[in-house]
Amino acid sequence: MGDTVLYEAGEGVATLTLNRPRRLNAIVPELMEDFDAGLARAEADDAVRVVRLRGAGRAFCAGYDIGWGAAAMRDAEGDEPWDPMADLRMMSRYVGSYMSLWRSPKPVVAQVQGFCVGGGTDFALCSDLIVVAQDASIGYPPARVWGSPTTAMWIYRVGLERAKRLLLTGDALDGARAVAWGLASECVPAAELDGAALALCRRIARLPANQLQMMKLLVNQAYEQMGLSVTQLIGTLLDGAARHTPEGVAFSRRAAQDVAAAVAERDAPFGDYGRGPR
């Protein structure tokens, strides 16, 4: 396990901290490998009953590192035609990591502050519970160009109307609205977030481990029966397609040169570049 995800445990709670604060904990392959190792370590420890997932610094996770993603897309394909099945295999690796939170026998509480956007929302939405800071900005701006939510968890977490409201605009939710919409269970000032999330984890950890596993399994199975795996397959395929539309390719080329300029150009018509939630 490397240093892009930190691990600590005590009092029945294992804490995984995404640790690329200078890049707002943006996702790169190394971070995902460290995350996988950290969660496996927590699952193997019988003293751990609950997992807490958080981000170092001022953001939870700003999604995929766009500069890395654009460069990797260019280097992998070059002048070759896009292979959607190769793309599916690549992105399914990430979906598998997010869904390891969903499938973990131990409940996972996501502690969300600042930006939780793009692929970063998959970490949060695949967790069991979300405790959020008032200053949070939770949304999927790649819906505007260059992405489709691969885990498709928005649909299952907030329902049809609200999922469409977010995905047809790319707008974000603040902490209070995330609670009002049922996306999170608790909203507190940023200064109180760490204590609130840890207190919830310790409360959950009072239950026997077998009871926790049974209760999580019961609720999750209801959503599995709604076709979750099929929806995720479609979401992952559409994500590859979105990156290879004319607009997606143009965004990728622009981002490979200047990420900030590409994002500013994407968000300019909406008037929210660099701003928090509406």
Smallest CA-to-CA distance from 16 within 92, 89, 101, 82 is with 101
Asked if the structure places residue 276 within a domain, the reply is: no
Residue-range definition of the domain harbouring residue 263: 5-270
> Which pTM was predicted?
0.96
Asked if the structure places residue 161 within a domain, the reply is: yes
Is 157 within 8 Å of 124 (Cβ atoms)?
no
Q: What is the pLDDT of residues 181-225, one digit of tens each?
A: 999 999 999 999 999 999 999 999 999 999 999 999 999 999 999
- 10 Å CB burial of residue 274 (0-12, 13-18, 19+) is exposed
The beta strands (E) that lie in 128-239 are given as 129-133, 137-139, 172-173, 186-188
Smallest CA-to-CA distance from 64 within 164, 5, 146 is with 146
Asked if the structure places residue 174 within a domain, the reply is: yes
Residue burial 238-252, b: 16+ Cβ < 10 Å; e: rest: ebbebbbeeebeebb
Asked if the structure places residue 277 within a domain, the reply is: no
Asked if the structure places residue 246 within a domain, the reply is: yes
Asked if the structure places residue 51 within a domain, the reply is: yes
Kind plus residue range of the DSSP H or E element containing 13: strand 13-18
Asked if the structure places residue 275 within a domain, the reply is: no
Count up the domains in the chain and report the number.
Answer: 1
Kind plus residue range of the DSSP H or E element containing 163: helix 160-167
Q: What is the pLDDT of residues 241-256, one digit of tens each?
A: 999 999 999 999 999 9
Smallest CA-to-CA distance from 27 within 55, 57, 58 is with 55
- Ranges of the chain whose pLDDT falls below 70: 73-78, 276-278
Asked if the structure places residue 83 within a domain, the reply is: yes
CATH of the domain at 194: 3.90.226.10
